[in-house]
Structure 1
Amino acid sequence: MNNIQEIKDYVVEITEGNSTKEEKLQQICDYLASKISYYDWVGFYFRNGDKEELKLAQFNGEPTEHTIIPFGKGICGQVAVSNKNFVVQDVSEQDNYISCGWKVKSEIVIPIFVDGKNIGQIDIDSHTVNPFTEADEELLEFVCKKVSAFV
């Protein structure tokens, strides 16, 4: 992975800027996808009102038909229930996986908390098997903490 501190510093610049919430989320998606070669799809999902489902917000990558994900379904839906990071180094080994395309080989999902409540998540798909490290988790937890300040 590139210089994590450099990436964190730029994420701070984005989150502290004067853009709208939607623009900030899109800038983060675009930036992470451009800086980390194995981040092939970067997106945010948020709880859809009072419903037990997630709704796709901003993303960078190929369009997905999975714009609504029920809690408990797939990796994202499981994180909405567990409130824990979920790193899948090989999606073919997961029973409860929603395929976003044949190219996707691995996925990492990190929840976003506001006042201790899971309100959404960042979702990263990679076309590479086993790309994610603790550094990815650390970086994405940092991103989620910064996002929680303005969503």
Structure 2
Amino acid sequence: MIFDKLKPEVETIISNSNKSINKRLQDICKLLENHIEYYNWVGFYFRNEKKEELILGPYVGEPTDHTVIPFGKGICGQVAVSNKNFVVPDVSAQDNYIACSITVKAEIVIPIFVNGENIGQIDIDSNTPDPFTEADERFLEFVCKKVAGML
């Protein structure tokens, strides 16, 4: 399984303290986008400490206008409030979806917890309808746990 092969690579990126945190996050985005064919946009959003909003961090994929997302708005904003994984097999069926690109068909968002607090999330868009499985969720939870250990 591709996820098992990527886990050690994620750990290697995380453990490279010679690189900045942002550079390591960027490298994780590149790794996932390059090796999982249905991951078409991969990025991190982090909680703004002063406001109830998310700020876009490192990402790979098409540029996005959504650099700030209020809590509760869109899939990412809903995860900031619910503290739960959100898998969207068909974004067109979601009422509270912020469209980044007309090519996006599905999205998965997994929160990042540090000391029990939701401090951000990994967000992945796919141009493939309904591509995400429980294996994606478990793998991305692993990635988020490793990222949390670095923050």
Distance 2:3 2:75 in 1: 25
1:75 is matched with which residue? Answer: 75
**AA at the equivalent of 2:68:** I
- SS in structure 1 at match of 2:120: strand
Q: Percent same amino acid at aligned positions?
A: 63
- SS in structure 2 at match of 1:149: helix
In structure 1, runs of 5+ residues without a counterpart are: none
**How many aligned residue pairs are there?**
150
Task: Give the superposition deviation at 1:3.
Answer: 2.2
Distance 2:43 2:2 in 1: 21
Distance 2:135 2:31 in 1: 17
Question: TM-score with structure 2 length normalisation?
Answer: 0.98
1:105 is matched with which residue? Answer: 105
Distance 1:4 1:92 in 2: 28
Matched ranges for 1:2-151 at <5 A = 2-18=1-17, 19-151=19-151
Question: TM-score with structure 1 length normalisation?
Answer: 0.98
Runs of 4+ in 1 over 6 A off after TM superposition: none
In structure 2, runs of 5+ residues without a counterpart are: none
Structural RMSD (CA): 0.7
Task: Give the superposition deviation at 1:50.
Answer: 2.2
Distance 1:82 1:130 in 2: 22
